[in-house]
Amino acid sequence: MNILKNKKILLGITGGIAAYKCPELIRLLTQQGAIVRTVLTACAKNFVTIPTLQTLSNQPVYESVWDGMDSMAHIELSRWADIVLIAPTTANFIALLSHGFANDLLSTLCLATTSPIVIAPSMNQQMYLNNLTQSNLIKLKNNRFLIWGPGDGIQACGETGPGRMLEPEELLENIHQFFAPKIMQNKNIVITAGPTQEPLDPVRYLSNYSSGKMGYALAEAAFTAGANVTLISGPTDLTISNEIKKVEVLTAEEMHRAVFNHLDDCDIFISAAAVCDYKTDNVATSKIKKTDKTITITLTQNPDILKEAANYYPKIIRIGFAAETHNLLENAYKKLEDKNCHMIIANEVGKDKGFHSNDNQVSVITRNNNVHLKKAAKTEIAIQLIRLIHETFLREHSLAKC
């Protein structure tokens, strides 16, 4: 089933250079069966032409409150749309919206509509970072606007920083997720992500190469699927949606404590963190100096968070990860038993896969099934995993009722 089939998308285009990407966005949306009507601000017409938008959408393009048969285009369109997506949204338009102005068709219909409104900010990085723009964005967020992006990188003006409109493919993916059924509604999901750091002395630690990308992608996918998500994260440089509760930890012991503080009303626990198995016995209080050719550091085992969760919270659906360099499936099946969990997501660690990469390739192992997900972006893999985890949740709960 195509989720976007016959979905009515009102695309608002404001006057930013990223408007040149809108024809491509319309093409992607209409290819999926969506009906796209476009509203342009006066300035947007400097960047993109009406015939192009009309041809690609095969729908009328609007530019004034006086468009439409009964001169009520703003009301007609505000009722028609399943979603209003304003891409690109300039700093000026963000300011207009946050103050409730209605001085053209797009701003007027935004006041009139009861449909969700999404903005995809697009502007020079200083304009984006300006306190006024930031406080306008907060105001919009607190008034039910959804904000997608911006991306970070090289800008049309030659500067580098935050303010790039999300790419059409990314906007399409977000719209997909927006309309996808909320299969995890009312579920409380706890997810761990990233590495842990085990201090050796005040300036050194033991850790691993985990970037946290898989766990963060799972947190976003679970949230989009309707779950209440708590993300317990080791040190990473990643950010997460404001609506997701994030608890930051450093060591395995801190992660252990944070997880167990959140398991009482948890339905699903996803242990995606690369928790260090060992920590130093005694953390040196001053820097370890270079003296002998070799030194010995004694390590002791950290608590196994996932395994303990199975002992203390057997009713929670528990999902583990296995990052392996060899004997992937054999090790994964062993882990399924050892850690007594419902699913192990086994990923090969290697070139372009696993730790730091944006892509992953995983085998999903349960007691009665083994599904291979082919190589894809971690954000895409995360969506597929949340579906499979939901199926496992339903199966386990129906078994429990038997």
Q: Could you tell me if 8 and 30 are in contact, meaning their C-beta atoms sit under 8 angstroms apart?
A: no
Cis previous bond, 88, omega within 30: yes
Is 43 among the residues known to form the active site? Answer: no
Distance CA 211, CA 219 (A): 14
Q: Residue 293: how many CB atoms within 10 A of its CB?
A: 5
Smallest distance from the beta carbon of 333 to ligand C5P, in angstroms?
13
Residues 6+ apart with CB under 8 A from 317: 267, 268, 269, 342, 343, 389, 392, 393, 396
In the complex with ligand C5P, the residue whose CB is nearer, 56 or 346, is 346
Q: How far apart are CA 223 and CA 217, in angstroms?
A: 10
Q: Which is nearer to ligand C5P, 201 or 277 (CB)?
A: 277
Please report how close the Cβ of residue 395 comes to ligand C5P at its closest, in angstroms.
Answer: 20
Least spacing, CB of residue 296 vs ligand C5P, in Å: 23
What does the block give as tokens for 116? 């969700």
Question: Among residues 190 and 227, whose Cβ is nearest to ligand C5P?
Answer: 190
Q: How far apart are the first and last CA of the chain?
A: 31
* Least distance between ligand C5P and beta carbon 227 (Å): 18
**Min. distance of Cβ 183 from ligand C5P in angstroms?**
22
Q: Which residues bind ligand C5P (CB under 6 A)?
A: 192, 252, 271, 273, 275, 277, 302, 304-306, 320-322, 335
Tokens of 175: 């719209």
- Other C-beta atoms within 10 Å of 73: how many? 22
Q: Minimal distance in Å, beta carbon 275 to ligand C5P?
A: 4
Nearer CB in complex with ligand C5P: 150/320:
320
In sequence order, which ranges of 50-180 are alpha helices (DSSP H)? 50-57, 73-80, 91-98, 105-112, 125-129, 131-141, 168-179
Angle in degrees, CA 65, 33, 109, rounded to 5? 20
Q: Is 43 exposed, middle or buried (0-12, 13-18, 19+ CB in 10 A)?
A: middle
Rg of the chain over Cα atoms, rounded to whole angstroms, equals: 25
Q: Is 88 in a helix, a strand, or coil?
A: strand
380 class by beta-carbon count within 10 Å (0-12 exposed, 13-18 middle, 19+ buried):
middle
Which among 157, 266, 276, 341 is annotated as catalytic? 157
User: Rounded to the nearest whole angstrom, what is the least distance from the CB of residue 149 to ligand C5P in the complex?
Assistant: 30
Task: Please identify which residue in the block is written with the tokens 């005694």.
Answer: 282
**Which residue lies nearer to ligand C5P by CB, 187 or 279?**
279
Identify which of residues 275 and 349 has a Cβ nearer to ligand C5P in the complex. Answer: 275
Is residue 118 within 8 A of residue 146, CB to CB? The reply is yes
Shorter beta-carbon distance to ligand C5P: residue 14 or 271:
271
Catalytic residue ranges? 157
